[in-house]
Amino acid sequence: MNAQIELVSARSVRGADPVPDLASADRIIMSTSGGKDSIVAMDEGVRLADQARVRDRIVVLHIDLGRTPRGHTVEWPGTVDLARRQAAHYGLPFEVRRSAKWTSLVHRIRARGQFPHVLSRFCTSDMKRAVAHRFITEQVNALGITGRPARVVHVMGFRAEESRARARRPAVEVDGRASSGRRTVTQWYPVLRWSEAEVWQRIRENGLPYHWAYDAGMSRLSCSLCVLASVPDLECAARLRPELAREYADLEKEMGVSFRRELSMAEVIRRAGGSA
């Protein structure tokens, strides 16, 4: 009974979300963080691309957030390799891109003198969105289409349960910031209305590769220490990656600002059982 309740999602109530016209897409770019929602969005996207007979138009993109000044990966260790294996699971080409300006997200934070927060998500705008837009430009240039805008579908694993902002999104929308006279970019969120239970059910049923951090207690992947993460996830991450947590705590002291307004990394470390 409980399992049945957990599997009720917004799509169960609202019905199926729209799907973009994949058959007319010149390129389908599947962005993956390596997380559970990304791999299931990829699985669902490939399934529908196969129905449209356009799997050969797909390329998988992972944006690497780099290594900190002390050499720690901002993302969970093994994420890039996992994202590569996830693409290989479907026989898809795989590309990694990084910021051309910033060595890592931590370098960007230090230069800005503050951590990202919900009203200033420069971690996304500077380190991910800008990099994805450049990759889209690369792909459009390689297509060499003339006489009309190239048609690009950009697939992402956003889910409505994760935030109010994502809950307000349509499953398919034109990305005005990424579109131009040379291209029309359509954002597609295949698992937007899925519940977390449905995501894990698809992973189990199809034997999809996922990151070890989930089995270690994390509810989301993202950055190892994300400013938007839940307190339990932050405490879990601090226990699993104490050296990275210490680097963030030292960065707090250096900049004179807290990791989050109401929660310092030093406090997260203390709650996780470490020594601040």
Considering the domain architecture, whether residues 61 and 183 belong to the same structural domain is answered as yes
Amino acid sitting at position 176: G
Considering the domain architecture, whether residues 63 and 151 belong to the same structural domain is answered as yes
The whole-number pLDDT of residue 275 equals 67
Considering the domain architecture, whether residues 88 and 224 belong to the same structural domain is answered as no
Considering the domain architecture, whether residues 159 and 238 belong to the same structural domain is answered as no
Amino acid sitting at position 186: T
Q: What is each CA distance from 155 to 50, 152, 187, 249, in whole angstroms?
A: 15, 10, 6, 35
Q: How many domains does the chain have?
A: 2
The whole-number pLDDT of residue 183 equals 97
Asked if residue 266 lies in contact with residue 250, where contact means CB atoms within 8 angstroms, the answer is no
CATH at residue 54: 3.40.50.620
Domain extent for 52 = 19-196
Asked if residue 79 lies in contact with residue 197, where contact means CB atoms within 8 angstroms, the answer is no
Considering the domain architecture, whether residues 251 and 139 belong to the same structural domain is answered as no
The whole-number pLDDT of residue 10 equals 54
Give φ, ψ of 257 to 5 degrees: -135, 155
Report how far residue 152's alpha carbon sits from residue 159's, in angstroms, rounded to the nearest whole number. 21
Establish if 10 belongs to a structural domain: no
Per-residue pLDDT of the chain (276 residues; tens, 9 = 90+): 234 434 555 555 556 789 999 999 999 999 999 999 999 999 999 999 999 999 999 999 999 999 999 999 999 999 999 999 999 999 999 999 999 999 999 999 999 999 999 888 899 988 999 999 999 999 999 999 999 999 999 999 999 988 778 788 899 999 999 999 999 999 999 999 999 999 999 999 999 999 999 999 999 998 999 999 999 999 999 999 999 999 999 999 999 999 999 999 999 999 999 766
Considering the domain architecture, whether residues 231 and 134 belong to the same structural domain is answered as no
The whole-number pLDDT of residue 118 equals 84
Nearest to 239 by CA among 214, 270, 262: 270
Considering the domain architecture, whether residues 44 and 120 belong to the same structural domain is answered as yes
Q: What is each CA distance from 188 to 11, 53, 88, 179, in whole angstroms?
A: 15, 18, 21, 14
Establish if 91 belongs to a structural domain: yes
Report how far residue 63's alpha carbon sits from residue 78's, in angstroms, rounded to the nearest whole number. 14
**pTM exceeds 0.95, yes or no:** no
Ordered strands of the 58-63 beta sheet: 94-97, 58-63, 27-31, 150-155, 183-188, 172-174
The whole-number pLDDT of residue 13 equals 53
